[in-house]
Chains A and B, each alone.
Chain A
C-alpha cells in the first residue's frame, strides 16, 4: 500500500485521457449500439422484423450512414462484437465508417450477468477471463474504449453489501485490464428503475453504490482521468406514485454525483434505462442547467433513447432507410443540445416553467 508500482506510463495515461476527452467533448455523447443478439431480438420483434445477422447489419448500417451532422453530437459509438466485423453494402467496414466521421469506436466487453448465490436474486457480471487478450485484439481492430455493465436493483433488501462490493470490484478489475491495453473503460453500475421506491431512495442507493465503485477503482490503481462513468440518472422507481419534475431529477442526480464522483473523471455519460427519447433528452438538459457546480461533462450514452424512432421509421424496409437515418440524426442533435443545456423541449414544456421547479421539497 505504501509504494507505488505505476500501472501506466505517462504516454499511456495521456493516450487514455485524450480518448476520454474526445468522446465527451462539449456537445457530444455516445450512441450505444451494442445490443446483444438477444436484445436486438426484442427490438426487431417490436417492429415485426426477423432477427437475422443481415437484418442486424442493415439496421446498424442505417445508424452508421448518418451524415456529417452527427460529427458535432456523437463522440463515440459502442459496438457489439458481431458488429465490429460487419461491413456496409459497399464493403466499407463499420468501424471505418465511424472512424471516418471522427467518432471513437467502443466495444461491449462484458459477458452478461450471473447470479450471486445466497442473495435475493442479485447478480454480478462475468467476462474477466481472457479479457486482456480480447482488449488487445479489439484495440488492433479499431476500438479505443470499452463498456461493461453491472446491474443492481432496489427492493426492500437490495442492493446488499455483497452485491455492491462484488460489482464494484469486478468493474474495477475490468477497468484496470482495459487501461493496460490502451482502452478507456466506461464503468457502468446500473441501478435498475424497477420498483416503487421514491426519488430519495434511489439517490441514497446511488450514492452508496458510486462511493463503493470509486473506492474499488482507487484500490485497483485505475487512472480516473482515463475512464468514463455510465450511471443511471437518479429517478423514482417505475411504479412510484409520486411524479417528479426534470429539475428534481436533475438536482438529485447532480447532488449524488457531486458526493461521489471525483472531479478527475472527465465525463459522466448517462444511460437512458426505460426512459422515452424525449424524457431522456429533457432530463439530460435539466441536468446541464442545474444550478449546482458540475466539474465533469454530463452527457448521454443512449441506446433506445437514440434509436426508438429510427427503428420505428425503418420497420425492416430498405425504402425507409433514409427516413430512419434522419430520425436518428434528429435525436442525436437534440441530445447534443441537451448535453449543453440548450435543448428547449419539443414544444410543450416551456423552459421558464421548468426553472421554477428547481427549489423542491426534496432535501438532497
Chain B
C-alpha cells in the first residue's frame, strides 16, 4: 500500500488519455452497436427481420457507411465480437470503415451475467478469463476501447452489499487489464430502471454504487484519466406512478455524479436504458443545461436511443438504406446538440409545463 509499482508508463498513460479525450470530444458521443446475437434477435424480430449473420451485418453496414460528417457527432462505436470481423459490401472491414471517419472503435468485452448464489437474484459479470490475451488481439484488430456492463437492480432488498462490492471489483479488474493493453475501459455499472421506486431511491443507490466503483478502481490502480464511465441516469423506476421532469432527472443525476465521480474522469457517457430516443436526448440536454458544475463531459453511449428509428426505417429492405441512415444521422445530431445543452425541443412538449415541476419538494 505504501510503495507504488507503476502500472503504466507515461507513454501508456498519454495514449489512453488521448483516446478517451477523442471519444468524448466536444459534441461527440458513442454509438453502442454492440448488441449480442441474442439481443439483435430482439431488435430484428420487432421489425420482422430474420436474425441471420447477413442481416446483422447489413444493418451495421447501414450505420457505419453513414456520411463521414457523422464524425462530428459520434466519437466512438462499440462493436460486438462478430461485427469487428465483418466487412462492408465492398470488402472493407468495419473497423477500417469506422476509423477512416476518425471515429474510435470499441469492443464489448464482458461475457454476460452469472448468478451470485445466496442473493435475491443478483448477478456478477464473467469475462475475466483470458481477458488480457483477448484485449491484446482486439487492439491489434483495431479496437482502442472496451466496454463491460455490470448490472444491479433496485428492490426492497437489493442491491446487496455483496452485489455492489463484487460488481465494482470485477469492473476494476477488467479496467486494469484493458489499460495494460492500450484499451480505454468504459466502466458500466448499470442500475436497472425496473421497479416502482422513486427518484430519490435511485439517487441514493446510484451514489452508493458509484462510490464503491471508484474505490475499487483506486484499489486496482486504474488510471482514471484513461477511463470513461457509462452509468444510468438517475430516474424513477419504470412503474413509479409520478412523472419527473427532465430537470428533476438532470439535477438528481448531476448531483450524484458530483458526489462520486472524480474530476479526473474525462467523460461520462450515459446509457439510455429503456428510454425512448427523444427522452434520452431531452434528459441529456437538461443535464448539459443545468447550472450545476460539470467537470467531466456529459454525453451519450446509446444503443436503442440512436437506432430505433433507423431500424424502423430499414425494416430489412436494402432500398430503405438512405432513409435508415437519415434517421440515424438525425438522432446523432440531436444527441450532439444535447451534449452542449443546445437541443431545442420542437413539437408538442410544452417547456413551460415541464419547467413548473422543477423545484419539487424532493431534496438532493
**Which residues on A are within 8 Å of B, measured CB to CB?**
1-4, 9-10, 13, 154-161, 164, 200-201, 204-205, 207-208, 211-212, 214-215, 218-219, 224-225, 255, 258-264, 293-295, 363
Most A-side CB within 10 Å, residue of B156, B159, B207: B207
Q: Measured between C-beta atoms, what is the minimum distance from A196 to chain B in Å?
A: 14
Cβ-closest chain B residue relative to A159: B2
Closest 6 CB pairs of A and B: A363-B10, A218-B211, A211-B218, A10-B363, A204-B4, A4-B204
Q: Does B353 contact A (CB under 8 A)?
A: no
Q: Measured between C-beta atoms, what is the minimum distance from B93 to chain A in Å?
A: 35
A259 touches B260 (CB 8 A): no
**14 pairs from A and B in contact (CB 8 Å cutoff):** A1-B164, A2-B154, A2-B158, A3-B204, A4-B204, A10-B363, A160-B1, A204-B4, A211-B214, A211-B215, A261-B262, A263-B261, A263-B293, A293-B263
Q: Does B255 contact A (CB under 8 A)?
A: yes
Q: Measured between C-beta atoms, what is the minimum distance from A104 to chain B in Å?
A: 23
B211 touches A264 (CB 8 A): no
The size of the chain B interface, using a CB distance under 8 A, is 40
Q: Does B349 contact A (CB under 8 A)?
A: no
Inter-chain contacts of B57 with A (CB < 8 A): none
Inter-chain contacts of A212 with B (CB < 8 A): 215
A201-B4 contact given A1-B208, A218-B208, CB 8 Å threshold: yes
Q: Does B259 contact A (CB under 8 A)?
A: yes
Q: Measured between C-beta atoms, what is the minimum distance from B158 to chain A in Å?
A: 6
Inter-chain contacts of A200 with B (CB < 8 A): 4
B211 touches A214 (CB 8 A): yes
State A170–B61 Cα separation when bound (angstroms).
Answer: 57
State A129–B5 Cα separation when bound (angstroms).
Answer: 40
User: With A2-B159, A219-B211, A264-B255 given, can you name 15 additional A-B contacts, CB distance below 8 Å?
Assistant: A1-B161, A3-B156, A4-B201, A155-B2, A159-B2, A201-B4, A208-B1, A258-B263, A259-B224, A259-B264, A260-B262, A261-B263, A263-B293, A264-B259, A294-B263
Q: Between A and B, how many residue pairs show CB distances below 8 Å?
A: 97
Cβ-closest chain A residue relative to B154: A2
Q: Measured between C-beta atoms, what is the minimum distance from A293 to chain B in Å?
A: 6
Q: Of A1, A204, A263, which contacts B258 at CB under 8 A?
A: A263
A208 touches B218 (CB 8 A): yes
Q: Measured between C-beta atoms, what is the minimum distance from B163 to chain A in Å?
A: 9
Inter-chain contacts of B135 with A (CB < 8 A): none
State A264–B256 Cα separation when bound (angstroms).
Answer: 9
Q: Measured between C-beta atoms, what is the minimum distance from B122 to chain A in Å?
A: 11
A-contact 0/1 string along B185-211, CB 8 Å cutoff: 000000000000000110011011001
State A129–B300 Cα separation when bound (angstroms).
Answer: 48
State A364–B263 Cα separation when bound (angstroms).
Answer: 15
State A215–B156 Cα separation when bound (angstroms).
Answer: 24
Q: Does B157 contact A (CB under 8 A)?
A: yes
State A134–B245 Cα separation when bound (angstroms).
Answer: 43
